[in-house]
């Protein structure tokens, strides 16, 4: 008689890494739709380039590292990385931006740093920061959200722009592109133009943050809340990131509203909400204890604000996440929860 | 009165699968042809057989006597003949064998002659009750098998609350539920006896809220007996609500201190099955020879049976319409903490609450962990599910790295191996197995360290003794030397040395000659020797030098 003798437990929940990642992707769908509504086809084209590059690089790296291909190709984590990176790339950036960024994220940020589960940094942010440092011009050339509706760039026009850099007759890249609201405020402040003046003279600003950006933020927020409801992520990190960003920007805003943006502006501009729900929560590189996650999130919120306001780059989420990734193991060690029957230390 | 309940952290909601085996009333299982009685069915020292091969035994007769205080006797579950005493497969996660008494049953089920029994337990002192419970072979029937008399000690009136555990939180297991539904009066009687032994002021019976019928019966029985010190409490159905520590927290809000016992916070916790067994023993004079067992899974008729201790699992599977030929996995206990049997010829023992059958052809009722684990993505689902508040992801990380000191920093030994972390892991990592491995390795290292400590100590003693002896010898010699006069000793020595040198010189002179057998050789022999000498000189290597 030969009975199977696996060890307990003998039952397992109907869950898998693939399911977790699919839920993250599903949560991003509303944001992708909203983004495309304001900024045109560019994001979808970037997602396609990034995802294809990511899968190709993943396959190559798995073969080189002699790891089983099928389970890792289907776990979905690499597609999440690709899409998050595509979100950070300007809509009509040349194709090689998405290609290089994703390639770097997967090859270096993920596999050379240890592969799934072992990479100390968020791979998407490794790719993003590499692009931002290496190609600042391409990475800060965004489209103004209201112009996209008026220009009515079709899919083929966008595709052509991304792959050849050619725009339809009568358009020039310099003529249609614009800086992001965060970037604009930064450059204007450097010329001693106050936020109020900037807001009045540029048609980029909506109720809270930038036009378009704030609505994308809302949809990202919705997806993030759904992830918390589905227990894919915990509330600690998003709440800590957004809460600390809100508090510190409120303090400075109350001190000088002309020089410091309002808390709502900071929350609804740039990648704050996306970062809080989808990037900082990347479990592999984040802190993992409940108290640790809060400290980790607060660190990201504060660093983001510091880099935005006093640093050389318009948005600081990418850098803030990478810096806190480094601190995560130490945070975890010092924030162990109290174990049943033990006294609180 | 509604008691305020406290939640324990973590836990998981599981599909219960309890309906299947609770549809028909409990009936006694058939008496098998042979019964296999392991001498150790409890925590502590194994019992010692008191019968010989060929002896006739009667139902309820002691066949093995307790050895030491942490031990209980074993009784014959039915009448028959001792067929063998020797090694047999026992229910064990590693498929071990152990000494068993094997009884060939005669089917007559003749009981031993009853001694006159005390009718009312109140007439007995707590000490007498404990001894009676011990002599009846009663151990914790919830699964651990700790001798019950040891948990019924009323020392220094420390027990404030006696909790009767009827939570039964694991899927499929229903024997406690059916017991409470069908034997509520006896269970309450057992509770009364335990309370008397413990001198506990109040009692709580905790039942998960997925067993309304059991709750109703128990409440009726409490009311019927007019027991105002007993409180029946419904606890939420969350696995592992029936874990002793979790249940104590749920009903009292207090936590058992780490490395402590429930008694440290004035609580003693017993299983409802144990209460029933104690009632049968004290009120009816029946030792523990049978128990309720759920048979579920890939069988035609899942149900709870009253099974004689020692009944082979294979007999139960067949009795419930399972096919032994297509078995793929048989679990003793529940799917979360039970273990898979290596063989179905092992017996039901005192701690067996459930036989979960899995067949290779019927629908697999158990959704299993994938065989191929992915790396841990540190999602933290495990730490959210851990009822103890551990960080399973960190334990796993350090176990993989074999950093066993770090693993203990993260409180490995507080892990109760409930399997919640394992159950929710999206990467399908066999986490509990990693923790068992870490625990065993650390135990092994501790044992080796102890042994090496002992041998190092021995070595130190040995060295000390040698030094001491040397010192003593030197001292003795010194004293001796002092006793003899210095000059005489000197002259003697010189003369002795002179004589020895003379002897040596003479010896050198006499031995410095040719060997005697080389004289007067023939020419031929001389030639032969020369040849050999030449050959020796030519040949290389150390041989020529010899």
Q: What whole-number distance in Å separates Cα of residue A155 and Cα of residue A42? A: 8
Q: Which residues pair with B48 in a beta bridge?
A: B65
- A51 pLDDT above the threshold of 50: yes
In degrees and rounded to multiples of 5, residue B356 shows phi and psi of: -105, 115
Question: Per this entry, what is the length of chain B?
Answer: 546
Residues of chain A neighbouring B414 (CB-CB closer than 8 A): 339-342
pLDDT of residue B12 exceeding 80, the answer is: yes
* Cβ contact, residue pair B342, A339, below 8 Å: no
B363: CB partners within 8 A, 6+ apart: B298
Q: Which residues of B touch A339 (CB under 8 A)?
A: 258, 388-390, 411, 414
> Does pLDDT of A278 surpass 90?
yes
Best of A13, A14, A333 to disrupt the B interface (most B CBs within 10 Å) is A13
| Residue A169 touches chain B, beta carbons under 8 Å | no
How sure is the predictor about B466, in pLDDT bands with cuts at 50, 70 and 90?
very high
The reported pLDDT for the residue numbered A149 is 63
Which has more confidence, B229 or B520?
B229
Q: Is B335 on the interface with A (CB under 8 A)?
A: yes
Assess whether pLDDT exceeds 80 at residue B513.
no
Q: Per-residue pLDDT for A311 more than 50?
A: yes
Question: How much is the pLDDT for B115?
Answer: 61
pLDDT for the residue B388: 93
Q: What is the pLDDT of residues B160-189, one digit of tens each?
A: 999 999 999 999 999 999 999 999 999 999
Give the span between the Cα atoms of B342 and B320, in whole angstroms.
Answer: 20
* Interface-testing mutation among B426, B429, B435, B437, with chain A (most A C-beta atoms within 10 A): B426
* B359–chain A Cβ distance below 8 A for any pair: no
- CB of B364 within 8 Å of any CB in chain A? no
Give the separation between CA B94 and CA B512, rounded to whole angstroms: 76
Give the nearest chain A residue to B424 (CA atoms): A13
Candidate from A36-40, B243-247, B351-355, B400-404 with smallest mean pLDDT: A36-40
- Per-residue pLDDT reduced to its tens digit, B224-242: 888 888 999 999 999 999 9
Mean pLDDT of the A191-213 span: 69
In this predicted structure, which of A151-165, A326-340, B167-181 has the lowest mean pLDDT? A151-165
Tokens coding A119: 């990479």
Instruction: Tell whether B252 is within 8 A of chain A (Cβ).
Output: no
The DSSP result for A95-119, as a single string, is HHHHHHHHHHIIIIIIIITTSTTT-
DSSP structure string for A201-225:
H-TTB-SSSBTTHHHHHHHHHHHHH
Q: Which residue of B has its CA nearest to A233?
A: B379
Is the pLDDT at B546 greater than 60? The verdict is no
* Whether residue A105 has pLDDT greater than 70: yes
Structural contact between residues B400 and B383, judged by C-beta atoms closer than 8 angstroms = no
Judging contacts by C-beta atoms under 8 Å, the chain A residues touching residue B171 are 11
Residue B315 has pLDDT above 50, yes or no: yes
pLDDT at res. A244: 96
pLDDT at A150: 64
Mean pLDDT of chain A: 86
pLDDT at A53 over 60: yes
Looking at per-residue confidence, does B293 or A35 come out higher?
B293
Residue B308: the pLDDT is 95
Rounded distance between C-alpha atoms, residue B310 and residue B54, angstroms: 18
Higher confidence at residue A229 or residue A211?
A229
Chain B stretch 151-180, residues whose beta carbon is closer than 8 A to a beta carbon of chain A: 171
Measure CB to CB from residue B255 to each of A12, A14, A341 and give the nearest one: A341
Which among A5, A11, A342 is the nearest to B366, CB-wise? A11
Q: What percent of chain B has pLDDT over 90?
A: 62
CA pair distance B25, B157, nearest whole angstrom: 40
Token pair, residue B476, equals: 């003795």
- The verdict on a CB contact (< 8 Å) between B414 and A13 is no
| Cis previous bond, A123, omega within 30 | no
Per-residue pLDDT at B212 exceeds 60: yes
The reply to whether B393 touches chain A by the CB within 8 Å rule is yes
Using CB atoms, pick whichever of B249, B411, B430 lies closest to residue A7: B430
Select from B193, B296, B156, B177 the least CA-distant residue to B242.
B177
Whether the per-residue pLDDT at B545 is higher than 50: the answer is no
Task: Enumerate the residues of chain B whose CB falls inside 8 A of the CB of residue A13.
Answer: 12, 423-424
Domains within chain B, CATH numbers bracketed:
20-28+124-332 (3.40.50.11540), 373-477 (no CATH)
* CB nearest to B329's CB, from A4, A17, A286: A4
Please judge whether B436 and A340 are an interchain contact, meaning their C-beta atoms are less than 8 angstroms apart: no
- Is the CB of A339 less than 8 angstroms away from the CB of B245? no
Does A68 lie at the interface with B, CB-CB under 8 angstroms?
A: yes
Judged by a CB distance cut-off of 8 A, whether residue B430 touches chain A is yes
| Cross-chain CB nearest to B411 (options A15, A72, A339) | A339
Backbone torsions φ then ψ of B259, nearest 5 degrees: 60, 10
Digit-coded pLDDT (tens) for B353-407: 999 998 877 655 677 778 788 999 998 999 999 999 999 999 999 999 999 999 9
User: What's chain B's average pLDDT?
Assistant: 88
Beta-carbon contacts of residue A281 (< 8 Å; ≥ 6 apart)? A227, A233, A234, A237, A238
Residue of chain B whose alpha carbon sits nearest to that of A20: B426
Q: Is the CB of A66 inside 8 Å of chain B's CB atoms? A: no
Q: Which of A8-22, A236-250, B266-280, B517-531 has the lowest mean pLDDT?
A: B517-531
Decide if B407 contacts B368 (C-beta within 8 A): no
Chain A residue numbers touching B7 (CB-CB < 8 A):
none
Give all strands (DSSP E) within B318-476, no chain letters. Answer: 327-332, 339-340, 354-359
Three-class secondary structure of residue B292 per DSSP? strand
- Contact between residue A20 and residue B379 where contact means Cβ atoms under 8 Å apart: yes
Q: Give the closest-approach CA distance of B229 to chain A in angstroms.
A: 28
- Mean pLDDT to the nearest integer, A41-69: 92
Q: How far is B243 from chain A (nearest CA, A)?
A: 13
Q: What is the ipTM of this complex?
A: 0.86
Confidence at B519, pLDDT banded by 50, 70, 90: low
pLDDT of the residue at A109: 93
Q: Do B419 and A118 touch (CB under 8 A)?
A: no
Does B253 touch chain A if contact means CB atoms closer than 8 Å? no
What residues of B are in contact with residue A68 (Cβ under 8 Å)? 372
Buried b or exposed e, range B234-249, using 16+ CB within 10 angstroms: bbbbbbbbbbbbbbbb
Q: What mean pLDDT is predicted for residues B396-420?
A: 92
For B171, the closest chain A residue by CA position comes to: A11
B229-B234-B240-B242 Cα dihedral, nearest 10 degrees: 30
Cis peptide before A183 (omega within 30 of 0): no
User: What pLDDT score does B544 carry?
Assistant: 44
Q: Tokens representing B187?
A: 């269970």
What's the mean pLDDT in A19-43? 90
In chain A, which residue's Cα lies nearest the Cα of B92? A5
Of A8, A118, A340, nearest to B432 by CB-CB distance is: A8
Over residues A222-277, the pLDDT tens digits come to 999 999 999 899 999 999 999 999 999 999 999 988 888 888 888 887 788 999 99
Written as one string, the DSSP assignment of B172-231 is S--HHHHHHHH-HHHHHHHHHHHHHHHT-SEEEEEEETT-HHHHHHHHHHHHHHT-TTEE
Q: How many CB pairs under 8 A join A and B?
A: 173
CB distance A10–B331 less than 8 Å?
Answer: yes
> Could you tell me which residue, B402 or B509, shows the higher pLDDT?
B402
Closest listed residue to residue B348, CA positions, set B297, B309, B317, B298: B309
Taking phi over 0 as left and psi of -120 to 50 as alpha, with beta for the rest, B157 belongs to left
Kindly indicate the confidence band of residue B541, based on its pLDDT and cuts at 50, 70 and 90. Answer: low
DSSP per-residue codes, B79-142 = SEEEEEEEEEE-S-TT--EEEEEEEEE-S--PBPPPPP--S-GGGS-HHHHHHHHHHTT-B-TT
Q: Which residues of B touch A342 (CB under 8 A)?
A: 258, 411, 414
Q: A 215-234 residues with CB below 8 A of B? A: 231-232, 234
Q: What are phi and psi of B163, to 5 degrees?
A: -105, 130
């Amino acid at each position: 008689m030969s009975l199977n003798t696996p060890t307990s437990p003998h039952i397992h929940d109907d869950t898998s890494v693939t399911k977790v990642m699919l839920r993250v992707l599903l949560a991003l769908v509303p944001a992708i739709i909203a983004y495309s509504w304001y900024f045109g086809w560019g994001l979808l084209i970037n997602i396609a380039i990034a995802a294809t590059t990511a899968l190709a690089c993943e396959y190559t790296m798995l073969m080189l590292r002699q790891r089983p291909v099928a389970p890792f190709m289907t776990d979905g984590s690499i597609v999440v990385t690709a899409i998050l990176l595509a979100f950070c790339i300007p809509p009509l950036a040349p194709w090689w931006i998405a290609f290089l960024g994703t390639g770097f994220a997967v090859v270096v940020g993920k596999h050379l740093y240890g592969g799934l589960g072992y990479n100390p940094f968020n791979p998407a942010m490794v790719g993003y920061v590499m692009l931002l440092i290496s190609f600042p011009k391409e990475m800060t050339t965004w489209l103004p959200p209201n112009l996209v509706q008026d220009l009515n760039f079709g899919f083929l026009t966008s595709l052509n722009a991304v792959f050849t850099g050619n725009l339809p007759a009568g358009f020039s890249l310099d003529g249609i592109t614009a800086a992001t609201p965060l970037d604009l405020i930064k450059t204007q402040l450097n010329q001693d133009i106050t936020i109020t003046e900037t807001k009045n003279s540029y048609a980029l600003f909506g109720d809270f943050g930038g036009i378009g950006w704030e609505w994308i933020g809302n949809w990202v927020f919705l997806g993030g809340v759904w992830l918390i409801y589905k227990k894919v992520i915990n509330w600690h990190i998003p709440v800590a990131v957004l809460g600390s960003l809100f508090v510190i920007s409120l303090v400075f805003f109350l001190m000088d509203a002309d020089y410091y943006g309002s808390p709502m502006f900071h929350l609804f501009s740039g990648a704050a909400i996306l970062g809080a729900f989808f990037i900082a929560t990347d479990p592999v590189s984040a802190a993992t204890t409940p108290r640790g996650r809060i400290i980790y999130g607060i660190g990201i919120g504060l660093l983001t604000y510091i880099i935005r306001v006093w640093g050389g780059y318009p948005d600081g989420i990418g850098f803030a996440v990478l810096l806190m990734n480094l601190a995560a193991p130490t945070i975890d060690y010092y924030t162990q929860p109290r174990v049943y029957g033990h006294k609180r230390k | 009165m509604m008691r305020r309940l406290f939640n324990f952290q973590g836990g998981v909601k599981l599909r219960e699968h309890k309906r299947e085996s609770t549809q028909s009333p409990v009936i006694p299982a058939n008496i098998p042809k042979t019964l296999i009685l392991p001498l150790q069915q409890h925590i502590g020292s194994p019992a010692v057989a008191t019968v010989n091969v060929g002896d006739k035994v009667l139902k309820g007769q002691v066949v093995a006597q307790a050895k030491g205080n942490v031990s209980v006797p074993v009784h014959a579950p039915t009448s028959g003949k001792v067929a063998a005493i020797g090694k047999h497969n026992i229910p064990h996660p590693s498929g071990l064998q152990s000494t068993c008494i094997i009884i060939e049953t005669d089917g007559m089920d003749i009981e031993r002659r009853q001694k006159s029994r005390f009718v009312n337990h109140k007439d007995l002192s707590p000490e007498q009750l404990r001894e009676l419970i011990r002599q009846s072979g009663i151990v914790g029937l919830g699964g651990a098998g700790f001798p019950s008399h040891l948990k019924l000690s009323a020392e220094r009136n420390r027990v404030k609350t006696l909790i009767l555990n009827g939570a039964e939180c694991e899927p499929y297991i229903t024997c406690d539920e059916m017991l409470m539904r069908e034997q509520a009066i006896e269970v309450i009687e057992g509770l009364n006896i335990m309370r008397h032994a413990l001198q506990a002021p109040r009692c709580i019976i905790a039942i998960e809220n997925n067993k309304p019928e059991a709750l109703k019966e128990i409440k009726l029985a409490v009311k019927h007996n007019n027991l105002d010190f007993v409180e029946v409490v419904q606890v939420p159905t969350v696995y592992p609500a029936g874990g002793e520590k979790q249940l104590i927290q749920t009903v009292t809000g207090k936590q058992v201190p780490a490395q402590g016992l429930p008694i440290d916070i004035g609580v003693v916790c017993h299983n409802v099955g144990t209460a029933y067994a104690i009632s049968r023993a004290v009120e009816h004079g029946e030792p523990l020879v049978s128990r309720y067992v759920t048979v579920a899974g890939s069988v035609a008729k899942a149900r709870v049976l009253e099974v004689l201790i020692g009944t082979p699992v294979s007999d139960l599977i067949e009795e419930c319409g399972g096919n032994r030929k297509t078995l793929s996995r048989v679990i003793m206990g529940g799917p979360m903490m039970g273990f898979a049997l290596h063989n179905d010829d092992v017996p039901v023992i005192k701690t067996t609450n459930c036989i979960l059958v899995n067949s290779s052809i019927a629908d697999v009722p158990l959704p299993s962990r994938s065989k191929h684990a992915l790396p841990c993505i540190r999602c933290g689902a495990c730490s959210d599910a851990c009822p103890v508040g551990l960080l399973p992801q960190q334990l796993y990380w350090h176990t993989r790295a074999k950093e066993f000191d770090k693993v203990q920093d993260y409180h490995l030994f507080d892990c109760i191996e409930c399997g919640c972390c394992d159950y929710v892991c999206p990467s399908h990592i066999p986490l509990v197995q990693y923790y068992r491995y870490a625990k065993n390795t650390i135990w092994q290292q501790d044992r080796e360290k102890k042994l090496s400590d002992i041998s190092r100590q021995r070595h130190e003693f040995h060295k000390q003794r040698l030094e001491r002896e040397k010192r003593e010898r030197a001292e003795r010699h010194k004293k001796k030397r002092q006793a003899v006069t210095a000059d005489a000793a000197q002259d003697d020595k010189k003369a002795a040395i002179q004589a020895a040198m003379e002897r040596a010189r003479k010896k050198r002179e006499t031995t410095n000659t040719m060997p005697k057998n080389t004289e007067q050789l023939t020419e031929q022999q001389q030639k032969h020797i020369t040849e050999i000498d030449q050959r020796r000189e030519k040949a290389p290597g150390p041989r020529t030098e010899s």
